A and B are shown apart, each in its own frame.
Chain A
Amino acid sequence: MTRDAGTPEAGTPDAGTDRTPAQVDRRGFLKVAGAVAASTAVATGIAARVLTRPEPATHVVARRHEGDIPADHQHRAWARAQAWVVPLLVQNLVAPHAPALVIPELRVRALHNGERIALLVEWADDAEDAVDSMARFRDAVAVQLPVDTATTPGVTMGAVNQPVHIMQWRAAWQRDVDRGRQGVREAFPNSFRDAAPEDLMGEEAAQQFYPALVANNPMARRDRTSPVEDLSAVGFGSLTAQDKQTATGRGVFDRGWHVVLSTPLAAGEHKTSLHPGLTTSIAFAVWDGGAGNRGSRKQWSNWTDLELEA
């Protein structure tokens, strides 16, 4: 990916667009330092930096929007929302690490209409990686919110007793939604194969040939309607799909990704409940499939404040 490939910014009040990843608002790290024993050394280093170079608070403000929030990132409603640049760090706290910082920053805008909140997350990337197959990984982005909005859990995807609500969008799921379930035929269009089990015996009987489908693994879903998955986590490695899926969204590739993720303010049990006037925390993670990013091999952000306009 290249850093400068165009994300739309003309005419938008982009505070802090010239900031580099090193100048992150890292005060949030101090808030959570106690929760993350492993990052003590990091936090200490940052404390010194905060003392010598105070930075103005930056945060994401979700503007109030009348009516349905557009899933189209080019809709003018989005231009009216302020974009905040979220600097990213390479995930190197737990192995396996991402080898390099390939996506240095995200640009985030937010809108809410009293019923739902939507985030437009954009980043530059020169290749669209939307195929999930052997040794091939897809681009993706995730938004993380604390389930208890009064707290700021560990940046480590929450912690025991500090659950987080995560919404992940994957480029491969977007293709499933746009073009129908993608599988081996799409990954290897020139390969030859016998008739698929479902063609021979119908969808239901054919399930036995798809072990992960029988096990109800959401990865194997053949009827995906949303490219965004609702998950919960209580620390690294604990990510689990929510029983009730309520997040929606849409991602479009145009010299980079433009992804809208949307969730009800009252999202339900085990998820984050938001309301107008609330300020809570939000964090992000992004994957460049072409660089081998997947799972813990990712770019991630610190917590930033998220404010919902009253």
Chain B
Amino acid sequence: MAEVFNWQLGREMQYPFQAERPQRQIAWVFDTNKCIACQTCTVACKSTWTSGTGQEYMLWNNVETKPYGFFPQGWDVQLLDRLGVVQWDGQTYEGQTVFESAPTGERVNGWLPMAEDWAHPNVGEDEPAGAVERGTYIDRLPHDTWFSYLARICNHCTYPACVAACPRQAIYKRPEDGIVLVDQARCRGYQECVAACPYKKVMYNNETRVSEKCIACFPKIEQGYQPQCVTTCIGRIRIASFISKPDEVDPKKPIDFLVKVRKVALPLYPQAGTEPNVYYIPPIHAPREYLHQMFGPGVDEAVETYQNIKNDPELLGLMMLFGSTERIMHSFSVEGEIATGFDEQGEELVSVPLREPTFIREFFDDVHQAYLHNIT
């Protein structure tokens, strides 16, 4: 075991290897508040990468309804159960990670889902956390009765549990962009990675008998494009770009701005200890206790910042840039009512207004002698 620094836990932690951070790290921000669970991302991923025999059940990208949806069955319940009650002292995690709590003879505190656990990819869809009474009217935040959508991909973790678990180093993290890949030539199908990943984002191919996982659409990223699940997103909830190292921050970089400056986007179950690189803007209508459990101690600040967005032109501008270009946006700026995204060379990729222009039609159409509804 080596000592490594996990900034999301605010402390050093034990990891089986002396892992060096990659030269740069691809990262994502998902705004859960805007997701409509249309599964366009899921289908985009599926039809791009996993339409072969043996990959039938594989959803490298999935969108589940919280609290009762999960793929595979109960993955998060299992994780929480294994790690016990979350203990934070301010921004420092006091409990144990999946590495630190590994039993003797194991590298990671994991579990292997059974085939049946992968059989219901959209179980719990749109099921609210409580009964909806007749006449229920929800007029406050957080909602008394709620559900929310959680879009999930591999987190291309800084300290991947899948890498730690493989006894033959068949999984590696690319130094150039931090993408985590299963070497399709070297894997011998032990499924140790499947058991180890706390997010259950490595999956076994029943036909080729080796494990596979989300590849972050690396052929696109290498060409300066965002992955399929990002560019196809109907709700424009996603952005993929590079995040700076923990001790660096560049407010012009979209991910740095969201994660480190405004601190509006948070890691999912950071207590697992893998330092995941997908960051979520928490669903503001879900109960706070639930959000604390999911996203750690930054939840209150994140929700408050997000709710104040109309007074925060920079944050508003960046949120408007989500889903506005297929290219990777390396930096952005907001001037007046216009937000602009730039590529790596500083060339403009796209500009968007902070507020979409609206036109309000007359309630009554004289020409057609008809009443009209206004739609967006």
Binding between chains A and B: yes
Cβ of B167 and Cβ of A209 under 8 Å apart? Answer: no
Whole-angstrom CA separation of A128 from B207 in the bound complex? 20
Secondary structure type dominating chain B contacts: loop
Roughly how many angstroms separate A251 CA and B305 CA in the complex, as a whole number?
65
A238 to B105, CA, bound (A): 19
Q: Which of B52, B56, B169, B208 contacts A219 (CB 8 A)?
A: B208
Identify the stretch in A5-13, A34-42, A132-140, A278-286 within 8 Å (CB) of chain B at 4 or more residues.
Answer: A132-140
From known contacts A212-B209, A217-B187, infer whether A196 and B106 are also in contact, taking CB-CB under 8 Å. Answer: no
- Given known pairs A211-B184, A212-B208, A215-B185, the reply for A134 and B191 (CB within 8 Å) is yes
Report whether A187 and B206 are in contact in the complex, using a CB–CB cutoff of 8 Å.
yes
Q: Cβ of A180 < 8 Å from any Cβ of B?
A: no
CB distance from A280 to the nearest CB of B (A): 26
- Asked whether B212 is an interface residue with its Cβ less than 8 Å from the other chain, the reply is yes
Flag whether A310 is at the interface (Cβ < 8 A).
no
Contact with A along B174-194 (1 / 0, CB 8 A): 000000000111111111101
Separation in Å of the B38 CB from the closest CB of chain A? 23
A75 contacts the other chain (Cβ, under 8 Å)? no
Per a CB cutoff under 8 Å, which of B105, B118, B165, B210 touches A212?
B210
Cβ-based interface call for A216 (8 A): yes
Q: Are A183 and B210 in contact (CB under 8 A)?
A: no
Is B187 in contact with A219, judged by CB distance below 8 angstroms? yes
Determine if A295 and B184 form an interchain contact, defined as CB atoms under 8 angstroms apart. no
B107 within 8 A of A: yes
**Is residue A96 within 8 Å, beta carbon to beta carbon, of the partner chain?**
yes
* B112 proximal to A (CB < 8 A): yes
A92 to chain B, nearest CB (A): 6
* CB pair A212 B53 closer than 8 Å: no
A215-B184, A220-B208 known; A210+B52 contact, CB < 8 A: yes
Majority secondary structure, A binding face? loop
Contact in complex: A184, B112 (CB < 8 Å): no
Does B115 lie within 8 Å of A135, measured CB to CB? yes
CA distance A187 to B106 in the complex (A): 28
> A134–B190 contact, CB under 8 A?
no
Decide if B91 is an interface residue (CB 8 Å cutoff).
no
* Residue of B with least CB distance to A195: B53
A-B complex: 9 closest residue pairs judged by Cβ atoms: A209-B52, A97-B105, A295-B190, A220-B208, A215-B184, A212-B208, A215-B185, A184-B206, A183-B207
Apart from A134-B114, A135-B112, A211-B208: 14 A-B pairs, beta carbons within 8 A: A95-B105, A96-B106, A96-B107, A133-B204, A135-B114, A135-B191, A172-B209, A209-B51, A210-B53, A212-B205, A217-B208, A219-B187, A220-B208, A295-B167
Question: Interface of A with B (CB < 8 Å)?
Answer: 92, 94-97, 99, 132-137, 172, 183-184, 187-188, 191, 193, 196-197, 209-217, 219-220, 236-239, 292, 294-296
Some 25 contacts from A to B, beta carbons below 8 A apart, are: A95-B102, A132-B209, A133-B204, A133-B206, A134-B57, A134-B115, A134-B194, A134-B204, A134-B206, A136-B115, A172-B209, A184-B56, A197-B51, A209-B51, A211-B52, A211-B208, A212-B185, A212-B210, A215-B183, A215-B184, A217-B184, A237-B168, A294-B189, A294-B191, A295-B190
